[in-house]
Chain A
Amino acid sequence: MRRWSLGAGRFAVTAVPALWLLLFFAVPFLIVLKISVSGMRLGMPPYEPLITWASSLVFELRVHLDHYAFLWQDPLYRNAWLNSLQVAAVSTLLCLLLGYPLAWGIARATPAWRNLLLLLIMLPFWTSFLLRVYAWLGILKNNGLINNTLLALGVIDRPIVMLQTDFAVYLGIVYSYLPFMVLPLYAAIEKLDQTLLEAAADLGCRPFRAFLAVTLPLTWGGIVAGSLLVFIPAVGEFVIPALLGGPDSLMIGRVLWEEFFNNRDWPVASAVAIAMLLLLVLPIVVFQHVQGRTPVVR
């Protein structure tokens, strides 16, 4: 009786997240997968059914792989994909370069300061992401805060074009995702035993080498976690390139949007989504595999 209730309890605990994933991840994924292999048509819905009944016992299954072939042939998608990877990679690197010293500073601050600084890192989340990106519009535009200030001070005599450039996209992404980098880095650095750095110095290791030989490997977990938390959403980012980027800032999220809403080509858009998912999941799986091989560090 007791065993049964224990088993049931365990089942209930795992069933809730499992059900959640099934309903809001697996099912939508399968729907998108299905649309991606359906033929396109004009009408509502804008795709053909996958299965058609010829008679009561005969049905036809028509799987269209041509959308995927189309993705492969049309350089637009490949370029968008590569461009997204590049933007995400560069942004991740920038976040890491900014976030590491930031996290280090917070972790080494006095406890009272530490809490305040952590609060400041999380403070932007009180405001909607969309609003914060819109706020950057106001700051960056030709008659925005920066240009007006510089004009008034006489530093420049005509506005610097910042909006609708790659610069604005990078700025927006780094600004938005920096906290996701800082928090795991902070957690890793805070755990790092300071006496290990003293031991390294004692054994003749200069500070920079000690950073490479001791600090970096021991905070590697935080670096990986932070980088994934920035990289993954940055690849599929739509709002930031759409609002801050120029018409030529081609990112996969934007292509997807246009395919769905401008071209109303749901099958191709779905194929883009599936391809993006696979191309994202693959490097992560490889990464996790590599991570799994390095022994656990206590």
Chain B
Amino acid sequence: MSNTRPEQRPEAGPDGTEPYVRLERLTKKFGEFVAVDDVTLNIRRGEIFCLLGASGCGKTTLLRMLAGFEQPTSGSIRIDGVDVTALPPYERPVNMMFQSYALFPHMTVEQNVAFGLRQDRVPRAAIRTRVAAMLELVRMREFARRKPHQLSGGQRQRVALARSLVKQPKLLLLDEPLAALDKKLRQHTQFELINIQETLGVTFVVVTHDQEEAMTLATRIGVMNHGEIIQVGTPTDIYEYPNSRFVADFIGSVNLFEGRLIEDEPDYVRVAAPELGGVFHVGHGVSAAPGATVWVALRPEKIQISRTAPDGAGDNRVAGVVSEIAYLGDQSVYLVRLATGRQVRVTQPNIVRQSSAGRLTWDEPVWLSWEPGSPVVVTQ
């Protein structure tokens, strides 16, 4: 299990050409407030790129600059080799699905979907067939004559999707596409969105604050904070190899330990963590000076919990006492208090149906251990 941090994949196409969408040093200021701060980002053709961040992190402003609703303070946007920075929204090969869907209330479903094609003076017959095909794709054909207010939330969402896809945009922007749906429908719609994207091959840029949504939808995720992109990578990269405390903490849950680099080899490092009361042996190298302060991120599901001490002696183990237990059905969450007073979160899948006798209980002394490949050292 050798864990070297993967190289950032080259964003250029496989033939080494320019990326499909290129944001270069994009900055947007509202007065003194910097909403988007010097963002450079490449998006590949046909991918679902998720901009993930808490509200106010600048992800929506970034999306609105792509759509043309906001003019960047500086920087440029190129789509498929064309600089669109100065183009108004109605001249960009980009369509957007709005968070509120923004369906025209005075038009039927059919008219809503046809609206974009009518602007381009597409012949009537062609409009009819393309609208019908698009409504078929989102399974809304029998609702073609309805007005938006006669539809449910999920149906409106599908009409909005059809309307934004019917012009076959080079880039489809989705602003919190599933936020207005209830949980069951949201999970179902996520996979539907992926299917439609794969069918049409349109490049998607999705803005969301919901990490689960981002993980399910995205081929790559850009994590944003305070107008900056902190990390770009596949969902696995982001989850398993966060490049900072912020990303580690933002995606999923994590146990973060501050520590000091005491041994620094190319293929492993050892970190002394006072809060742990022990030493982390981490199976990847880092670029930091010996003695530097670093942080070790350890995911709860990567920790084994047992009543007996693991074999051997040394690093990557610690004793503690169970202080809280939450049984969630598919898994159980344990909070284990270490001798240093630090609480560690541990989750274990409930693989076998446990009898109450075999279960760990409160105040039981336990051992925690993990593989060298499990923790990640972050330096910032």
Contacts and interface: CB of A to CB of B under 8 A. Distances in A.
A and B interact: yes
Given A196-B104, A217-B106, A203 B98 contact: no
A218 B147 CA distance: 14
Nearest to A217: B106
Interface stretch (A31-39, A204-212, A258-266): A204-212
Contacts of B68: 201-202
A297 interface: yes
Interface in A213-265: 213-214, 217-218
A201 B100 contact: no
A275 interface: no
B88 A201 contact: yes
Given A204-B90, A205-B90, A298-B149, A199 B119 contact: no
Interface string A184-203: 00000000010110111111
Contacts of B67: 198, 202
B167 A204 contact: yes
Contacts of A199: 96, 98, 102-104
Contacts of A209: 119
Contacts of B164: 202-203
| Residue among B94, B116, B164 facing the most chain A CB atoms (10 A cut-off) | B116
A206 B68 CA distance: 13
A206 B115 CA distance: 12
Given A195-B98, A209-B119, A295-B147, A202 B105 contact: no
A214 B116 CA distance: 13
Contacts of A206: 90, 119
Nearest to A206: B90
Contact of B119 (A193, A204, A218): A204
Interface in B55-74: 67-69
B44 interface: no
Contacts of B104: 196, 199-200, 214
Nearest to B163: A203
Contacts of A195: 98, 100, 102
A201 B102 contact: no
Contacts of B75: none
A202 B163 CA distance: 11
Nearest to A198: B69
B373 interface: no
Interface string A97-108: 000000000000
What range describes how many residues of B lie at the interface? 20 to 34
Nearest to A295: B147
A200 B116 CA distance: 8
A218 B90 contact: no
Nearest to B94: A202
A200 B105 contact: no
A202 B104 CA distance: 13
Contacts of B163: 203
Interface string B130-166: 0000000000000000010100000000000001100
Contacts of A297: 105-106
B123 to A, nearest CB: 16
Contacts of B116: 203-204
Given A198-B89, A218-B106, A297-B106, A203 B100 contact: no
B7 interface: no
Contacts of B95: 202-203
Interface in B70-114: 88-91, 94-96, 98, 100, 102-106
B119 A198 contact: no
A217 B104 CA distance: 10
Contacts of A196: 102, 104-105
B149 A201 contact: no
A40 to B, nearest CB: 54
B115 A200 contact: yes
B103 to A, nearest CB: 8
Contacts of B147: 295
Contacts of A218: 105-106
B182 interface: no
A200 to B, nearest CB: 7
Nearest to A194: B102
A204 B119 CA distance: 6
Given A297-B105, A298-B105, A198 B115 contact: no
A217 B90 CA distance: 20
A196 B148 CA distance: 13
Contacts of A213: 115
B156 to A, nearest CB: 12
Contacts of B32: none
Given A195-B100, A298-B149, A203 B115 contact: yes
B15 interface: no
B130 to A, nearest CB: 14
| Residue among B88, B94, B95, B115 facing the most chain A CB atoms (10 A cut-off) | B115
B90 A202 contact: yes
A204 B104 CA distance: 15
Interface string B114-134: 011001100000000000000
Given A198-B98, A201-B90, 6 more contacts: A198-B89, A201-B69, A204-B90, A205-B90, A205-B115, A209-B119
6 contacts: A198-B67, A201-B68, A202-B96, A204-B167, A218-B106, A297-B105
Closest 7 pairs between A and B when the two form their complex, measured CB to CB = A203-B116, A204-B119, A199-B102, A201-B89, A195-B102, A298-B149, A217-B106
Interface of A: 193, 195-196, 198-206, 209, 213-214, 217-218, 295, 297-298
